[in-house]
Structures are given as C-alpha cells and as structure tokens.
Structure 1
Amino acid sequence: MQIAQALTQETIFGVADGATYSGMLCLGGDGKRYFFSQAQVDGQPVALGRDHFPSREDALRGLADAAAGLRPASRA
C-alpha cells in the first residue's frame, strides 16, 4: 500500500458479491487523486498497489471490484 501525506482520510465499508471489505480512502497531497492506504477483504489485507483514482466514486468502485475478485485498473 502507498503511504503518503493525505489531505483527507475516510474509512470505507461495504459488501460486494458476498465479500465484506473496508479501506482507508485518502485524497492525495495534490488534492486531485484518491488512493487507498490500506484495504481488507473478508478480514484479509488486499494489495491495491499504487492505484490512483481521479474521483471518490472511481475509488469506491475500484475497492468494490477488488472485493468482488476483479483487479481494479488504475484510472490516472
């Protein structure tokens, strides 16, 4: 996971395709891109790599896709 200065942080919880997930969503220091500093699916850590997302909605969709078993594509 990426560790960086974040302008904001928000804990996300959800269910996708029967899997529960959570993650710490951060707005990057540039104020333009979102990333997850950590994420878990069914209590197990998930590596989202260095994925960055241009919007909060894209980031939420990326985490839900990862929980459903799909590899989220970097959107930035």
Structure 2
Amino acid sequence: MGPSEYASGEVTRDPVTGRLETYTIAPGDVSSVIGVRFCTDFVTILVENNAFASDFEPGKVLRLAPLRDYRAEG
C-alpha cells in the first residue's frame, strides 16, 4: 500500500485507529494504479467521493472510506 510510480500521493490516517482516511492526488498519478494501491478499483473510489473521472486532478483530496456491504443495506 505504499507509494508507487503512478500513485505517489499523500495519504492521511485516523490518528486513533490508523485507518486510511484520505488520498491527495499527485501529479502523474494514474487512476487505475491508485485503485491497485488501495486494493480496489478507482470507480469505487469515485463513487465513494461522488466524483467523476473528469474531477481527477493533482491536489484533489479523495476520501478513502471502508467499502460498504451493500447487501446489508435496505
């Protein structure tokens, strides 16, 4: 889960639990590689952030929420 060539943005963690909280997109980042870095696909990250691929730009802060279990909802 560490930085890689195309997913080198900054990550913040919850100071109490250590869980991932946010990811700041860095110049040169590639959406699919960001997904791989966090063991998910980038579409899931976009959905969790109510964002579109066109919103993908350096400096944008993405929330890294735990994946929901949609089967348990309604």
Q: TM-score, normalised by structure 1?
A: 0.33
Between structure 1 and structure 2, the one with the greater Rg is 2
TM-score using structure 2 length: 0.33
The structure richer in strand per residue is: 1
